[in-house]
Structure 1
Amino acid sequence: MVLTTLPLVPLPAAVVVHEGRMPLTATARVHGSSPAAGILIDALARRGGPALSPADAGDDAPAPGDIVLRTDAEGSASEGYSLRIGDHVDIVGDDEAGLFYGVQTLLQLARQDDDGWSVPRTEITDAPRFPHRGVMLDVARHFFDVSEVKKFIDATSALKFNRLHLHLSDDQGWRVHIDSWPLLTELSSTTAASGDAGGFYTKDDYRDIVAYAASRHMILIPEIDLPGHTHAVGVAYPELVEAPVLNDALVTQAENLGQPLPVAGESYLGWGVGHSSVRIREERTYDFVRDVVRELAEMTPGPYIHIGGDESLGTSQEDFDHFAERATQIVVDAGKTPVAWHEMGAAAGIAEGTVGQYWGMKIPTGAHAAEAAHFVERGGALIMSAADAAYLDMKYTADFPLGLTWAAIIDVRTAYEWEPTAVLEVPDEAILGVEAPLWSETTRTIDDVEQLVFPRAAAEAEIAWSPKHAPERTWESFRGRLGTLAPLWKAEGVRFHPSADIPWSDR
């Protein structure tokens, strides 16, 4: 078998390239009843490609140039697929997700030259390395509406991401309606960071996002950040939160940025962290957590609810551990698997099976490694989001107009060249996968978000999907393949950052 570079991101597991190309013309029909057929037809049309048409029902004999989409329940790998291009295209998914990913691969292969549209004759067998391949969108610090989230889903699922983590609450705002605590959206959703306009999702909005993500084979993971990052909760229900705890770093940051300090009962417009906490020893707090988790669980078909747990700087360790143990159990009692940032691993009695999300550095500092490892000891697993590699809100360069620098300056190569199983001393099988977060302090529009996310999300997608030791899993190969995504992103209206170290294609 000969491996030859194809213009694909993420890199497939196995590829054989044959001579020649198969023309794609308007006479081609798409066979199969999968929703992936409509996605293929629509996406190719948006790029100005040939207007494919669905084959008639019952017409099982593909003509030259046709595209056949089908699933095979006997497939051995969940989300896997095979793609064969000879005189016609045959995509076989191990399941509907695999079929969808096979279509995304075909869309990347389709190219227009002087002779028209075509695809290379090739054979691909592919399946993901990790089951969790996630992106996180912070809609709390700045709010993004349903249509903008759907656009984000389209662009990231095309890279074979299968998890969408929505950060729904923070000090700056609460973004999803909860019937039993209606003041959260009435009073705590109206503003955003830097005094920008806020917003929130009705329950119908939220269900719409969940359903749309599912149509692109993404499981939605809602996050309510607790016990810290809860200043907005106190704007609506002051009896649930402690007074802000200020520290020298917070005061200095506010002075340097010209931002206000948090004031109890008033919307917080700054970026500082660590000053807020719910009242951990008040039983009413757990009524609140239970109600929120219950209502989210009722609207969320996926298995996970994320309950935060990071940067509770004004909370004693004893109180924090007490809250972590109770909150994770509340999620379990609601029938979901709890997910928490790695700090919650400090609590000895977190619910068994809780998944930890590691956001420390590639070389762990302080107690971060031990906290993360405790999730594994309690029967859970880990999602790797190393801040100095996978945080998409960091700047590309020191003078880039968007993003922050507290974790690192992350160019595309830095985003690509890290290994999630090499960060912590845990078994490889304890790593559930990779997630790339986008925190929204500096992103006031979805265009801003896209400039930070793309192209670096493609690097995280390859780390999460592709084999660790494939011959072409190299920076030089990746940068060349990445450059070929430009026409697709332009056709979809994705405002990516054209990093100078990538050879971008115009066709």
Structure 2
Amino acid sequence: MKSKNKKHLIITLCILVISIVTLVFSNINKEDEDLAVIAEKVNNTIIPKPINYKEAEGKFTLNKDTKIYVKGNTEEETTEITRIAEYLKGKLSPSTGYEFTIVKNEVPSGNSIYLTTVEGKEELGNEGYELTTTTDGIILKAYKPEGLFRGIQTIRQLLPAEIAKSTLVNNVEWSIPASTIYDKPEYAYRGFMIDVARHFFPEDVIKQQIDYAAQYKINRLHLHLTDDQGWRIEIKKYPDLTLIGGSTQVGGGPGGYYTQEQFKSIVQYAADRYIEIIPEVDMPGHTNAALASLAFLNPDGKRKPLYTGIDVGFSTLMTDSEETYEFIENVVKEISAISPSKYFHMGGDEADSTKKEDYDYFVGRVSKIVQKYGKTPIGWDPIDTAPEINSSTILQNWKASNEAAREKNMNMIISIASKAYLDMKYNSATPYGLNWAGYIPVETAYNWDPTDYAPKNLVLGIESPLWTENIATEDEMEFMIYPRLLGYSEIGWTPKSSRNWPEYKVRLERQGLRMENEGINYYKDKDIWKSK
């Protein structure tokens, strides 16, 4: 009897195991089937997703005789559009081998790409565009040249992924499906940040990251130029800031800094891609590099030791010293003179060694110094809690608490650490980055909206910061930025109602080959790029 019961139990357990295994595999197969159905319906790879995309019959194929026509409403505008056409030519010629002659102010014939602002709709704003592709050619129309530049990124993504290669590619048909696209951004501010203070990244590396980000319609790059571990921007009045403060980095490496000419070169390179560089000088905390460079910034009149660790909250400027404010004004004045951005980021976070009343006085006074030089101040929370800070200052919100900013009707850049920080690990196996705000897998990075944290009328846009305590190389930087920046670009550009993860996941998977062709060292999430 006992033997029969034992056999019966074994048989029951076997049936149960088989049932569980069958259920698991059927769910996996169902998920794959669902993705396959979604994939069939996704008729483009464009990221960020356009507001409206309608496919038509046929296609347009580039060939050696294809020309690019340009025409603006004024001669000045035509000149600007010509520069955009040169940029497009520079992106298409290496892989196709075609010359793409640029023709100004003529009516386009067939076999052409036409870039124009003539009769562009004002409702498109500065960045919107309309793109019409037929078998004869492409017409890209915008209200402003900036919109043409954004539309060009869509053209690039409609071509085969091999277009992203920098060498000649044979046996590829360079065709674009016939379609009409109407598109414009949801938010005016769509940015990312690179911390060049903890680890320094030279001019050419920053330019490369600007070029990569531009193709996803990012329009702001915030450079975190100063911190405890390094001062990275030349200030001619205080050469020791870079001579001493720029001489090291986290871990004691060689550091580095940008001369003012190098900074202007980065600014121009970004402007040519319609990206605005926003400089940040973090204060009153995160200031040890300055305190180690200039003795008069310290209460005892002696320079602090250089710092190469990653702790925060231990440094502060003297908030009751007129020499401090004279120093700040000189720094703001010099940087403002070489920075065309309307913004100046004054930091304001983690000032743990500054008393609250001193902090309040300091940020209120510094915001007025920034405004004196024609700039709009931006500050990290808790800057909004200071009584002298009002709606003339923008809050960069990273902690999710912004009650004071709401009460003051302050505009906000949403950068919630647990959703938007690019230095947070994807998972426990990620070799770089930190996890103090939690892990941020690719799906988590995509599945949120700025209006989860602030009223839409106060949201200026979104920014994803990359802090570099343990990000030391360009490869490591790209691994943490990509592919998450693509999702952040879509959150900033595409209305919430038009976004969903399963459909985005299909488009993102198709972007992988483009990133590989460009040489981007992106994180190949196995849930997205499954082995065949």
Instruction: Kindly indicate whether residue 139 of structure 2 is the aligned counterpart of residue 101 of structure 1.
Output: no
Distance 1:294 1:39 in 2: 33
Q: Which residue of 91, 103, 119 corresponds with 1:43?
A: 91
8 Å contact from structure 1 (residues 383, 433) kept in 2: yes
| Secondary structure class of the residue paired with 2:430 | coil
Gapped regions of structure 2 (runs ≥ 5): 1-40, 71-80, 163-170
Instruction: Kindly indicate whether residue 269 of structure 2 is the aligned counterpart of residue 212 of structure 1.
Output: yes
What RMSD over aligned residues (CA atoms) do the two structures have, in Å?
Answer: 2.0
Distance 2:372 2:519 in 1: 42
Distance 1:439 1:385 in 2: 12
| Secondary structure class of the residue paired with 1:457 | helix
| Secondary structure class of the residue paired with 1:484 | helix
| Secondary structure class of the residue paired with 1:216 | coil
| Secondary structure class of the residue paired with 2:88 | helix
Gapped regions of structure 1 (runs ≥ 5): 244-262
Instruction: Kindly indicate whether residue 493 of structure 2 is the aligned counterpart of residue 465 of structure 1.
Output: yes
Instruction: Kindly indicate whether residue 506 of structure 2 is the aligned counterpart of residue 480 of structure 1.
Output: yes
Residue-by-residue CA offset, 1:201-243 (whole Å, 9 max, x unaligned): 1110011011111101011110000000000001111321469
- Deviation, structure 1 residue 50: 4.6
8 Å contact from structure 2 (residues 293, 303) kept in 1: no
| Secondary structure class of the residue paired with 1:53 | coil
Q: Which structure's residues are more often helix, by fraction?
A: 2
Distance 2:282 2:485 in 1: 24
Residue-by-residue CA offset, 1:19-43 (whole Å, 9 max, x unaligned): 2322222221111252221222221
Distance 1:200 1:292 in 2: 15
Letter in 2 for 1:43: K
8 Å contact from structure 2 (residues 384, 390) kept in 1: no
Letter in 1 for 2:512: A
| Cα distance change on mapping 1:242 and 1:104 into 2, 3 Å | farther
Give the share of equivalent positions with the same residue, in percent: 36
Distance 1:115 1:294 in 2: 53
| Cα distance change on mapping 1:349 and 1:393 into 2, 3 Å | same
Distance 2:392 2:437 in 1: 29
- Deviation, structure 1 residue 371: 4.0
Q: Which residue of 471, 474, 486 corresponds with 1:446?
A: 474
**Counterparts in 2 of 1:280-429, with a 5 A limit?**
280-360=319-399, 364=400, 368-374=401-407, 377=408, 379-424=409-454, 427-429=455-457
Structure 1 residue runs of 4 or more that deviate by more than 4 Å after TM superposition: 112-115
Instruction: Kindly indicate whether residue 113 of structure 2 is the aligned counterpart of residue 67 of structure 1.
Output: yes
Distance 1:422 1:230 in 2: 33
Letter in 2 for 1:55: I
Distance 2:226 2:316 in 1: 13
What does residue 435 of structure 1 align with? Answer: 463
Residue-by-residue CA offset, 1:270-304 (whole Å, 9 max, x unaligned): 11100000011111000011111111111111100
Normalised by the size of structure 1, how large is the TM-score? 0.89
- Deviation, structure 1 residue 373: 2.6
8 Å contact from structure 2 (residues 419, 440) kept in 1: yes
Letter in 2 for 1:192: Q
- Deviation, structure 1 residue 112: 6.4
- Deviation, structure 1 residue 505: 11
Distance 1:55 1:183 in 2: 49
Larger radius of gyration: 2
Letter in 2 for 1:16: K
| Cα distance change on mapping 1:457 and 1:298 into 2, 3 Å | same
Distance 1:345 1:166 in 2: 21
| Cα distance change on mapping 1:179 and 1:450 into 2, 3 Å | same
What does residue 28 of structure 2 align with? Answer: none
| Cα distance change on mapping 1:198 and 1:230 into 2, 3 Å | same
What does residue 101 of structure 2 align with? Answer: 54
| Cα distance change on mapping 1:438 and 1:112 into 2, 3 Å | closer
Q: Which residue of 473, 484, 505 corresponds with 1:456?
A: 484
Distance 2:161 2:273 in 1: 26
- Count of residue pairs the alignment pairs up: 470
8 Å contact from structure 2 (residues 380, 397) kept in 1: yes
Distance 1:58 1:31 in 2: 7
- Deviation, structure 1 residue 497: 1.3
| Cα distance change on mapping 1:74 and 1:16 into 2, 3 Å | closer
Distance 1:38 1:234 in 2: 46
| Cα distance change on mapping 1:505 and 1:461 into 2, 3 Å | farther
Normalised by the size of structure 2, how large is the TM-score? 0.85
- Deviation, structure 1 residue 68: 0.9
